[in-house]
Structure 1
Amino acid sequence: MNRQAVSPSPPPDHGARLLIVDDDTDLLRLLEMRLGANGYRVVACARAETALAHLAAERFDLVLSDVRLPDRDGLALFGDIHAQFPTLPVILLTAHGTIPDAVEATSRGVAGYLTKPFDSQVLLERIRDALHHAPAPAGRGRGATDGSGIVSRSSRMHALLDEARLVAASDASVLIRGDSGTGKELLARAIHDASPRAEAPFVAINCGAIPEPLLESELFGHVRGAFTGATGHHPGLFQTAHAGTLFLDEIGDMPLSLQVKLLRVLQERTVRPVGAIRAEPIDVRIISATHRDLDALLASGEFRDDLYYRINVVTLTLPTLAERREDIPLLAEHFLAALARKYRKKVRGFAPDALTALATAAWPGNVRQLQNVVEQTCALATTPLIPRTLVERALRVRPLEALSYAEAKQRFERNYLIQILKLTAGNVSDAARLAERNRTEFYRLLQRHGLDPGLFRTETPDPEPERQRRP
């Protein structure tokens, strides 16, 4: 499948902005010269707090940090960066590296890990590799928001896109399932664009948005005099999509009477316009989509099982936005880049706490709702970085200032525990160490907030029973 149609292009190396954090002034100078000579724009600093201040004010493509810093451990700095900028790659440098340290760092999402002294060519390769696999920041060519590409870094979406690439090469009918706003038409268009039919038309229709009498005419066409007002021949969407793809959105809302006619068209590969005597041959690939439970509709008799098996040769299920939260900052900045151009606004991105608000919102309207929120904040923005207050206004959530002290403390504590469990992949010992609490106290905090560390684990749990590991 054409990867341009389904995934973001890797960002170019040259011109990328790098933030280097190291208290060794000689090494800082050397790295600035070497990286600058290779086309990178470099900002250097000696302390973690200074680095975080730079990140709050400017946009960077990668962070290169020493593990031993005067004011903070490098892994703790990575935790702060990852919490605020989940898509920003971080490479760690250390003179005290060990294999367990490297394993721990990479398991938490660090893009690279090098032990001093290191070969400059190896460092350049690590930087190029990290930039190649990282999502492009806003304004660096991630594709338009008009449906020409799917923007994602989540493993679940990439697995789905791998399936889409396979099915695109065939002519099999595809059923796309997913909640409203998850991007079903975008996926259907990407499949068409990567298929042998890409040069022919892609035609979409929402089966639930058109009244039944008009829907039949829209799908199959009509001849002159077929009904009152039919003053000429009108080709249907099947004829319009000839040699291409017809996307039947919300097919679960199609009336039973039309389901019978659609089945006949799919079986015979011919279509007879309303009022016509003869049928016309068609060559169309069908991609259908629905947010409804078709199995329940089959059981209730509202959807024909013979049509179901015709359209459901391959099923692709889109996750909700809440199920791919790692994509939220990436999508938000992707939309913002296009909208800033549309509104001619000098907006560079979102403030860190605004990104946090986006990443933790419920998103019942999925990607469509996210795009709406980003558009509203962009239209109202008066500063280079969009503040949290505008995001909360667009989300229609209760602002932090309206919370009582106890409510604010409770919310902060729970969000902090969730972030630290994500950072440590559910490892309670590591989480307690980073939180500077003993394990017993940390477990009490988790129980108070109803958090199960097992939900955050990404690896097979230790065979030792949990009760034996707790103090």
Structure 2
Amino acid sequence: MSTPAAILVVDDDTDLLRLMTMRLTAAGHAVQAVASAEAALAHLAVKLPALVITDVRLPGLDGLALFDEIRARHPSLPVILLTAHGSIPDAVEATTRGAHAYLTKPYDGKELLDKINQALLLNRPGPAPFNGDGEWRSEILSRSPRMAEVLAEARLVAGTDASVLIAGDSGTGKELLARAIHKASPRAGKPFIAVNCAAIPEALLESELFGHVKGAFTGAQGHRQGLIPAAEGGTVFLDEIGDMPLALQVKLLRVLQERVVRPVGSNEAVAVDVRVLSATHRDLEQAMSEGLFRPDLYYRLNVVKLGLPPLAERREDIALLAQHFLLTLAGRHRKPVRGFAPDALEALVTAPWPGNVRQLFNVVEQVCVLATAPLVPLAQVQRALQMPPAEVLNYQHAKQRFERDYLNQLLKLTSGQVAEAARLADRNRTEFYRLLQKHGLDPQLFRADAAPLAQPSDSGDKKLSDESSA
């Protein structure tokens, strides 16, 4: 069972505070309720919750001032604002500065829970610091069930000397997993040497792996130890093994079978004690069928196969990794940035990520270098992701959208009572009816005994029924 999320609720209305506490507790959350912004700040100084929900109108320090304090002290802590009609513009302004959302009173219970779940998903804290048993995988940050399965299998196989083939797309962290296996193995005190088989020219790869003697080829002016013998007692990680030339595959197979290495130009074989881990983003079974990879080597390498999921299949980890990278890079580049705006974080979580974790790191580094404020805005993330900017409306369409949203909020606030809505809008009833008709809004659908099912309509053709009670 997961740990309940800690939520701090701030409201001076004791009845509403009691009702919200009951509702959120029933939903499985741990609620701390306080009646003032000052009390909230005192609570935050002692224990940081996962989410803050605050009314805008509070005695003394108001909810917006509380939001500003939270944003200054804890930039990544999500805040949901509860607002009455008169403070809607302030709440809208606050969302542009990083508030997760705002809801108007009386708020819809389901909508509130949806906003809470969204905020907790995007801002869920990372795992607790690793204890001694978890130190082996301390470089791998994850709360994904898929990754948990992979790590559990890796931990089991680490204690053996079995060869492990790590499969996964480029950028998924295959070398990090190999390092973790080495750190959890009895060979942890010995060298871990990683070799990228695709990055070394074919003519040099044999010499790099096995070493050479003086005069073995032009330019070989002395003896050189290979990377495999250099890992004596430890682990060799052969990355992109699928790109190894066929001629060299034969020699690697001999190393695995006979545990000896013959340097280039030498007639003598040298005994080696190394564990071989390998990785590839290629389909080696297809490569075997095409004659590009030796089956006997494949079966030697593939005693245990671990598959790393692409980042798009472990979206639970994106916010965690992005925040970790951001704080690390902020220190490296001496930048003041400490977190992402809620919409920026949502853009990261929903992006496709074809380049996986490596691409995520690159994007976070770009926004960090260009950051000028503590919170990374959506526009910077969109630019780094090369996403099209948010829709820009012309003045007339923007005015219509605002008008429609404003009328929707008024009808929700007044439960469909047109006279009251018109009074709040400072418009006469006839003019207000014309506005409702223009946007296809039916007040009856906002009554307390009916769900607000009205959909926005630009045509204005929908006719309103007479509302004699108004």
Shorter-chain TM-score tier: 0.5 to 0.7
Contact persistence 1:18–1:62 (CA under 8 A)? no
Structure 1 residues 7-406: aligned runs within 5 Å? 19-21=8-10, 23-24=13-14, 28=34, 36=43, 39-40=46-47, 46-47=54-55, 58-59=74-75, 71-73=106-108, 76-88=111-123, 134-135=125-126, 149-401=139-391
CA distance in 2, matches of 1:45, 1:294: 52
Give the Å deviation of 1:360. Answer: 1.3
Number of matched pairs: 347
Q: Which has the higher contact order (CA 8 A, sep 6+)?
A: 1
CA distance in 2, matches of 1:73, 1:376: 39
Give the Å deviation of 1:61. Answer: 6.3
Contact persistence 1:17–1:59 (CA under 8 A)? no
Contact persistence 1:174–1:314 (CA under 8 A)? yes
Give the Å deviation of 1:339. Answer: 0.4
Residue type of the partner of 2:319? P
SS state of the match for residue 221, structure 2?
coil
Contact persistence 2:209–2:228 (CA under 8 A)? yes
Contact persistence 1:18–1:61 (CA under 8 A)? no
Gaps of 5+ in 2: 19-32, 58-62, 83-102, 132-136, 402-450, 456-470
SS state of the match for residue 357, structure 1?
helix
Q: Which residue of 1 aligns with 2:28?
A: none
| Per-residue deviation, residues 416-454 of structure 1 (Å, max 9, x unmatched) | xxxxxxxxxxxxxxxxxxxx577xx9xxxxxxxxxxxxx
Distance 1:287 1:437, change over 3 A: farther
CA distance in 2, matches of 1:187, 1:383: 35
Distance 1:41 1:168, change over 3 A: closer
Contact persistence 1:173–1:285 (CA under 8 A)? yes
Give the Å deviation of 1:47. Answer: 3.0
TM-score (norm 2): 0.65
| Per-residue deviation, residues 302-344 of structure 1 (Å, max 9, x unmatched) | 1000000000000000111111111111110010010000111
CA distance in 1, matches of 2:52, 2:270: 69
Contact persistence 1:21–1:64 (CA under 8 A)? no
Give the Å deviation of 1:20. Answer: 3.1
CA distance in 2, matches of 1:72, 1:294: 56
CA distance in 1, matches of 2:80, 2:386: 38
CA distance in 2, matches of 1:377, 1:390: 6
Q: Which residue of 2 aligns with 1:121?
A: none
CA distance in 1, matches of 2:283, 2:392: 40
Give the Å deviation of 1:350. Answer: 0.6
Give the Å deviation of 1:82. Answer: 3.2
CA distance in 2, matches of 1:372, 1:29: 43
CA distance in 1, matches of 2:248, 2:263: 13
CA distance in 1, matches of 2:112, 2:76: 15
Gaps of 5+ in 1: 1-15, 90-133, 410-435, 442-471
Give the Å deviation of 1:213. Answer: 1.7
CA distance in 2, matches of 1:403, 1:395: 22
Contact persistence 1:19–1:64 (CA under 8 A)? no
CA distance in 2, matches of 1:390, 1:381: 8
Contact persistence 2:122–2:345 (CA under 8 A)? no
Residue type of the partner of 2:34? L
Residue type of the partner of 2:369? A
Q: Please, what is the CA RMSD of the aligned residues?
A: 3.9
Contact persistence 2:155–2:184 (CA under 8 A)? yes
CA distance in 1, matches of 2:290, 2:52: 65
